[in-house]
Amino acid sequence: MLTRKRDLRTGRSVWQEKRAPSVPGWKLLADARADVVVIGAGISGAMVADALSEVGLDVLIVDRRGPVRGSTVASTALLQYEIDQPLTKLSRQIGEEAAIRAWRRSRLALDGLYARIRALSLAPMRRRDSLYLAGDLLDAEALSHEGEARRRAGFETAFLGTTAVEERFGIAHRAALLGYDNVEVDPRALAAGFLRTAIGRGARLASPVEIVDIDARPRSVVLRTKASTHISCRHVVFCTGYEIPLGLEPKGHQAISTWAIATPAQPRRLWPERCFVWEASEPYLYLRTTPDGRVICGGEDEDFVDEEARDRLIAAKTKTLQRKLAGLFPELDIRADFAWAGTFGASATGLPTIGELPGLKNCWAVMGFGGNGITYSRIGAEIVRAGLTGKGDPDAELYAYRT
Ligand SMILES: Cc1cc2nc3c(=O)[nH]c(=O)nc-3n(C[C@H](O)[C@H](O)[C@H](O)COP(=O)(O)OP(=O)(O)OC[C@H]3O[C@@H](n4cnc5c(N)ncnc54)[C@H](O)[C@@H]3O)c2cc1C
């Protein structure tokens, strides 16, 4: 076994209300060849396949479950440039210059992703501002310093005191930072859109195909599938989400559990501007809306990954999320039409791991951890494409694999 199989998610996520988007498949009946094999057909594999097929590489995507059946289905898909780790905190961890670079790269990646979704007409999306509420991680004073640090680094941000937050958004007793121009999407539709685009250029998607062994040679890689077929290629990209290649867990990585709910549609009761709302707290709470006016509310993360224990907690976590949601917006209908749980990956810095795997020549990985996983999938696609086309990426070192 090359990647440990996890029970990635339980319950029905709000995206599963719609029929699964169709993605043309291909049967792997015999040994095969490709320039690049992308392992994993979630949002990361989909973006990587899009980026590599665009530069003319022959791409084969494989997935043991099928297209878009992993964590991407559970994602609440607040696509943010504001990464989980506040700029002030990340500066203390990796130095100010690197922290600013990481924040700026996220801004660029999000804008690039937005433009690409538009250019390819991949999926409906909306720009949303984000309201970052003071909490036990950053109180109002620390939040104000965070705002100054972000402004110094070039990010347009407004610090709002408690009165301003209450007047504009109806949330009582909380100071906040307002950030601009994030993006909301349906992550399943988006991943399927990227996959269809890559397939339209000649990429192949084969599933269910499980890769169980890898033989990385100086000039090629041979993959063995569970059905004992072999795939030869020049490069492999692991886009296996929270099913990290065994023995290659990056330093500081931790798998945790998270929960989310979605309320009935209530477009008339929603808060002004329908901005993203999230808290500088641990555990944190975050909110967004869907185009038909449901509220998605998630968080309540716990530092364990025992899937049975995680699933037993769905009812209790639903109640906690409902209580906290009502605490912020008492007028909302907090009934949970959908409640789901998922495994989540966290890293010590909140940054992902992207790059060549140590000791495995020609093998790359995009491990987009944390609450910014989808922004990081985009950065992953950019870095892998630059690496495979020999151009290199100026920020590659920031995300490189660390043991
Ligand atoms: C509840 C929840 C909320 C989230 N909210 C947000 C958010 O608001 N914003 C945000 O940006 N991110 C969010 N994330 C994170 C984001 O969803 C993930 O980073 C992203 O979906 C990961 O996509 P992926 O393609 O890397 O992984 P996946 O979608 O899990 O795809 C990986 C695929 O690899 C396949 N695979 C694994 N091993 C093998 C093998 N050996 N052979 C063949 N196939 C294999 C699996 O079958 C799977 O389909 C959230 C995650 C969760 C769970």
For 38-82, write each residue's pLDDT tens digit: 999 999 999 999 999 999 999 999 999 999 999 999 999 999 999
The residue whose C-alpha atom lies closest to atom 19 belonging to ligand 1 is 373
For 241-258, what is the mean pLDDT? Answer: 90
My answer on whether 177 and 278 are in the same domain is yes
Query: For ligand 1, what atom is nearest to the CA of residue 46?
Result: 25
My answer on whether 245 and 263 are in the same domain is no
Q: 258: Cβ below 6 Å to ligand 1?
A: yes
The answer to whether 262 and 337 are in contact (CB under 8 A) is yes
Confidence at residue 208, expressed as pLDDT on a 0 to 100 scale: 97
Is pLDDT of 403 > 80? Answer: no
DSSP calls for 165-230: HHHHH--TT--EEEEEEEEEE-HHHHHHHHHHHHHHTT-EEE-S--EEEEEE-SS-EEEEETTS-E
The answer to whether 106 and 395 are in contact (CB under 8 A) is no
My answer on whether 174 and 141 are in the same domain is yes
The residue whose C-alpha atom lies closest to atom 31 belonging to ligand 1 is 42
My answer on whether 164 and 305 are in the same domain is yes
Q: 13: Cβ below 6 Å to ligand 1?
A: no
Band of the pLDDT at 247, cuts 50, 70, 90?
A: confident
pLDDT digits (tens, 9 = 90+) for 118-171: 999 999 999 999 999 999 999 999 999 999 999 999 999 999 999 999 999 999
Q: 11: Cβ below 6 Å to ligand 1?
A: no
Is pLDDT of 88 > 90? Answer: yes
Look at residues 328, 346, 364 and tell me which one is the last residue of a structural domain: 346
Q: 256: Cβ below 6 Å to ligand 1?
A: no
Structure tokens at 325: 């949601």
Q: Burial level of 56, CB count in 10 A (0-12/13-18/19+)? A: exposed
Whether residue 114 lies inside any domain: the answer is: no
From 20, 21, 65, select the one nearest 39 (Cα to Cα): 65
My answer on whether 145 and 274 are in the same domain is yes
Whether residue 328 lies inside any domain: the answer is: yes
My answer on whether 301 and 162 are in the same domain is yes
Whether residue 120 lies inside any domain: the answer is: no
Number of domains in the chain: 2
| Summary mean pLDDT of the chain | 96
Residue 70 sits in a domain whose CATH number is 3.50.50.60
Is pLDDT of 264 > 90? Answer: yes
My answer on whether 239 and 281 are in the same domain is no
My answer on whether 274 and 338 are in the same domain is yes
C-alpha–C-alpha distance, residues 230 and 81, integer Å? 40
Q: 72: Cβ below 6 Å to ligand 1?
A: yes
Confidence at residue 4, expressed as pLDDT on a 0 to 100 scale: 83
My answer on whether 170 and 272 are in the same domain is yes
The residue whose C-alpha atom lies closest to atom 33 belonging to ligand 1 is 40
Model pTM score: 0.97
The residue whose C-alpha atom lies closest to atom 20 belonging to ligand 1 is 72
Q: 100: Cβ below 6 Å to ligand 1?
A: no
* Domain span at 377: 9-74+188-251+351-399
pLDDT digits (tens, 9 = 90+) for 90-131: 999 999 999 999 999 999 999 999 999 999 999 999 999 999
Whether residue 108 lies inside any domain: the answer is: no
Q: What is the percent of the chain where pLDDT is above 70?
A: 100
C-alpha–C-alpha distance, residues 364 and 271, integer Å? 43
For 357-366, what is the mean pLDDT? Answer: 94
My answer on whether 24 and 167 are in the same domain is no
Structure tokens at 148: 């100054």
Q: Count how many Cα atoms sit within 13 Å of the Cα of residue 27 in the half-sphere of its side chain.
A: 2
Whether residue 117 lies inside any domain: the answer is: no
Structure tokens at 39: 């392992």
Q: 74: Cβ below 6 Å to ligand 1?
A: yes
Q: Which residues contact 114 (CB under 8 A, 6 or more apart)?
A: 125, 127, 183
Whether residue 331 lies inside any domain: the answer is: yes
For 12-39, what is the mean pLDDT? Answer: 96
Confidence at residue 79, expressed as pLDDT on a 0 to 100 scale: 98
Longest dimension (CA), the chain: 66
Whether residue 91 lies inside any domain: the answer is: no
Is pLDDT of 381 > 90? Answer: yes
Query: For ligand 1, what atom is nearest to the CA of residue 367?
Result: 26
Structure tokens at 276: 């993203």
Q: How many angstroms separate the alpha carbon of residue 365 from the centre of ligand 1? A: 13
Look at residues 302, 324, 346 and tell me which one is the last residue of a structural domain: 346
The residue whose C-alpha atom lies closest to atom 4 belonging to ligand 1 is 75
Q: 104: Cβ below 6 Å to ligand 1?
A: no
For 221-237, what is the mean pLDDT? Answer: 98
Structure tokens at 320: 């906690």
My answer on whether 258 and 342 are in the same domain is yes
